[in-house]
Amino acid sequence: MIPAAFEYHRPTDLAAALATLGEFGDEARVVAGGHSLIPMMKLRMAEIGHVVDLQDIADLKGIRIDGTAVWIGAMTTQHELIGHQGLAAAAPILRETALQIADPQVRYVGTIGGNVANGDPGNDMPALMQCLDATFTLAGPNGSREVAARDFYEGAYVTLREDDEILTGIRFEATGGGQAYEKQKRKIGDYATAAAAAILKKDGTSCSAASIAMTNLSDMPVWSKAAGDALVGTACAAADIDAAVAAALGDISPNADNRGPVEFKRHVAGIIIRRAIEQAWARA
């Protein structure tokens, strides 16, 4: 499978990348690891006149942790996330999630920026970013702006990023708590049939804060405030978790596809959300 012809650009700084996007408008697309974009180009489902490769832009790389403040450059690969000791201590759920994405070869090149910016409902990082209440930085022709992960997604492949903007980095506060990402997939390399991220904080025997988000159970990632609210102030007993699962299921609208009909997806979602909550609580 050979993609349609395109012009290739490899700028060495962000300004040059933005200038290229500005020049070619919606004919241009940035490529990070390329493992979402290139298959679509090979299938000729995406025709891109100008590919702007971000690999040489040093400002988009790296992981910085300053106290509880974490910044991750958009071009940081899943492999780099997995291997970063500071990050594993600050927010272990990132490593747990990244390890469940695709396979080793894909994780060497797949980036966190591509994963969150693409807007594919099957990508795992968007729900995790909502669970963490992360903020994305978007650079455009008129400077940078920040958008909360919980506001960024509008539908499948539709986000608040404009065509002439590049997602440059992600920041969030690593405030601890018990964390878990649970994912059901048919096989290695598949997207989730259902996946859920949970972060729970414990004060004595009761839950003092809870954040629950889900992957591939709607056209976009779903952060369920109601599920979190159902747990706060409780001891996360069986009935409390039942209530949280029911609340989370109330916030999703899965689509039937080759992973199963809607009923099956809701069934799997219920199990996965429960596992994520139980695991996070056990770790809190």
Partner 1 sequence: MSKMHLKLTVNGEAHELLAEPRELLIHVIRERLNLTGPHIGCETSHCGACTVDMNGRSVKSCTVFAAQANGAEITTIEGIGAPGALHPLQEAFREHHGLQCGFCTPGMITRAYRFLQENPSPSEAEVRMGMAGNLCRCTGYQNIVKAILSAAAEMNTVKEAAE
Provide, rounded to whole angstroms, the least separation between the CB of residue 176 and partner 1: 27
45 binds partner 1 (CB under 8 A): no
Query: Which residue, 52 or 197, is less far from partner 1 as judged by CB?
Result: 52
Residues 6+ apart with CB under 8 A from 114: 32, 33, 34, 35, 36, 37, 74
Query: Which residue, 32 or 87, is less far from partner 1 as judged by CB?
Result: 32
Q: At CB < 8 A and 24+ separation, what contacts does 38-45 make?
A: 38/3, 41/3, 41/4, 41/6, 42/1, 42/2, 42/3, 43/1, 44/3, 44/4
Residues 3 to 42: which contact partner 1 by CB under 8 A?
A: 3-8, 10, 31, 34-35, 38-39, 41-42
Query: Which residue, 42 or 225, is less far from partner 1 as judged by CB?
Result: 42
Provide, rounded to whole angstroms, the least separation between the CB of residue 163 and partner 1: 21
Provide, rounded to whole angstroms, the least separation between the CB of residue 245 and partner 1: 29
Give dist(CA 174, CA 143) in Å, integer: 27
Provide, rounded to whole angstroms, the least separation between the CB of residue 96 and partner 1: 13
> How many chain residues touch partner 1 (CB under 8 A)?
29
Which residue from 23, 103, 163, 263 is in contact with partner 1, where contact means CB under 8 A? 103
Instruction: Give the sheet arrangement for strand 7-9, strand by strand.
Output: 7-9, 50-53, 28-31
Residues 47 to 86: which contact partner 1 by CB under 8 A?
A: 51, 53, 55, 79
Token duo for residue 47:
């025709």
The Cα angle at residue 39 between residues 36 and 40, in degrees rounded to 5:
85
Query: Which residue, 22 or 83, is less far from partner 1 as judged by CB?
Result: 83
Name the residue among 130, 153, 90 with its Cα closest to residue 212.
Answer: 130
Q: How many CA atoms lie within 13 A of 76 on its CB side?
A: 24
Provide, rounded to whole angstroms, the least separation between the CB of residue 104 and partner 1: 5
Provide, rounded to whole angstroms, the least separation between the CB of residue 24 and partner 1: 14
Query: Which residue, 97 or 211, is less far from partner 1 as judged by CB?
Result: 97
Burial class (CB in 10 A: 0-12, 13-18, 19+), 1: exposed
The region of 16-24, 86-94, 98-106, 151-159 touching partner 1 under the rule CB under 8 A is 98-106
Give dist(CA 83, CA 77) in Å, integer: 10
249 binds partner 1 (CB under 8 A): no
> How does DSSP classify residue 84?
-
The Cα angle at residue 265 between residues 262 and 266, in degrees rounded to 5:
90
Residues of this chain that interact with partner 1 (CB under 8 A) are 1-8, 10, 31, 34-35, 38-39, 41-42, 51, 53, 55, 79, 102-106, 108-109, 188-189
